[in-house]
Amino acid sequence: MFQGYTQGAIDFLWGLKLNNERAWFQEHKQEFTDLVDRPTRELATQLTEDMTEAFPRLGLELKVSRIYRDARRLFGRGPYKDHLWFSLRKPGEQDGRIPCFWFEIAPDHYGYGMGCWEMLPTTMAKLRARIDRDPKPVEKLARAVARRGEFHLEGQEYKRPKGDPGPLLYPWYNRKGIGFTCENNCEGVLFTPELAAQVLAEVLEEYGKRGQTFGFLCGIYPTAPFLRPETLRQAMGLLEESGADAVAPVVRFSFPPQRGLVIRDGEIRMNTPELYLCRSQDLEPVYHDVGQFYCLNAESFGRQGCLVMEHTLPFVISELEVQDIDTEEDWRLAELKYRMRQGGE
């Protein structure tokens, strides 16, 4: 019987992500078996039994991924995956073309959903024809997914749209495949977005018991020394004017992570060697969460229960206003940035 994962599973996956080599894995193989592989298979077995009992006609087949990557397709990556997944689908030779239910655990998230990742063009053409013929059933489904708020629509979009059935069905109509995904933060450290969302939900519940409700919320992290009132006013103003679910502060990576290097066996290798000839300025800018605050639409938060929701807008912050403090060197950088800001104000 599945009893849940432990923080040890997440710690192992982070360790594997940072030490993706055979010697490290062999030394920690028992941890993988006990903390990651066994509970994943227990969860997979339990869900297979539950789904088979609920939907016996589907004839679902369980497939659990291996931790080993295909040696023919490493492309400079390590020999192991840093995540584990399983799927439930009808038996078939072309697995990627068969819709399935799936679950995945990774160092920084766990997720689940449904769909297929190698949809045949003819299958999507049939969906478009059905929408053209009678859009109401698909519109009903699209509204139900939106109301639930748990899943977001995924699938590669066509560069040239196939048509425009209206704003509700446009995302369904112009994709090469369709899937529905829900991802959650699974880091077991204090003040993760998941924990913060739990705290906010409890606060709202307590105020609700007292008959007090709110249209918007702002959660401020206790470790945000550079946060200014003006920043909060601007972010909250953006949320109110846009009608989005949330606004989250982000900062751009100073150097494109797509051109990052890894050290294996004492030698450096590109993490994405296919980008070797790309210039840094030609790569798409990448941002990361600042971890200072979140501005939320209370109704959306009540439905989705997370901080980064379906329609979350970025609030881009300067590097001078951001500093993660984990080491003495980080503290010195924070002091330097503070003095620079004081001198410029």
Domain that includes residue 118, residue range: 7-184
Whether 35 and 163 map to the same domain: the answer is: yes
In a domain, 172, yes or no: yes
Whether 84 and 120 map to the same domain: the answer is: yes
Q: Looking at residue 68, what is its pLDDT?
A: 87
Whether 209 and 339 map to the same domain: the answer is: yes
In a domain, 298, yes or no: yes
3-class secondary structure per residue, the chain: CCCCCCHHHHHHHHHHHHCCCHHHHHHCHHHHHHHHHHHHHHHHHHHHHHHHHHCHHHCCEEEECCCECCHHHCCCCCCECCCEEEEEECCCCCHHHCCEEEEEECCCCEEEEEECCCCCHHHHHHHHHHHHHCCHHHHHHHHHHHHHCCCEEECCECCCCCCCCCCCCHHHHCECCCEEEEEECCCCCCCCHHHHHHHHHHHHHHHHHCCCCCCEEEEECCCCCCCCHHHHHHHHHHHHHHCCCEEEEEEECCCCHHHCEEEECCEEEECCHHHCCCCHHHCCCCEEECCCEEEEEHHHHHHHCCCCCCCEEEEECCHHHCCCCCCHHHHHHHHHHHHHHHHHC
- Domain at 238, CATH number: 3.90.550.10
Whether 174 and 250 map to the same domain: the answer is: no
What string of pLDDT tens digits covers the 345 residues of the chain?
A: 577 787 788 889 989 988 988 899 999 999 999 989 998 898 888 888 878 877 788 888 899 999 988 767 666 678 888 899 999 888 875 667 788 888 899 987 888 888 887 788 898 999 999 999 999 999 998 998 888 777 888 888 888 999 999 999 999 999 998 898 888 765 443 234 454 666 577 667 767 777 888 889 888 765 677 888 999 999 999 999 999 999 999 999 888 888 888 887 888 888 788 877 788 888 888 998 887 888 999 889 888 887 788 899 999 999 888 887 667 788 888 888 888 877 755
Of 130, 151, 184, the one marking the end of a domain is: 184
Whether 221 and 94 map to the same domain: the answer is: no
Number of domains into which the chain is organized: 2
In a domain, 337, yes or no: yes
Q: Looking at residue 294, what is its pLDDT?
A: 87
Whether 306 and 197 map to the same domain: the answer is: yes
In a domain, 260, yes or no: yes
Whether 214 and 154 map to the same domain: the answer is: no
Whether 113 and 201 map to the same domain: the answer is: no
Whether 170 and 227 map to the same domain: the answer is: no
Whether 157 and 197 map to the same domain: the answer is: no
In a domain, 1, yes or no: no
Of 127, 155, 184, the one marking the end of a domain is: 184
Whether 212 and 168 map to the same domain: the answer is: no
Q: Looking at residue 192, what is its pLDDT?
A: 45
Of 184, 214, 237, the one marking the end of a domain is: 184
Q: Looking at residue 199, what is its pLDDT?
A: 59
In a domain, 230, yes or no: yes
- Domain at 150, CATH number: 3.30.930
Q: How far apart are CA 99 and CA 97, in angstroms?
A: 7
In a domain, 279, yes or no: yes
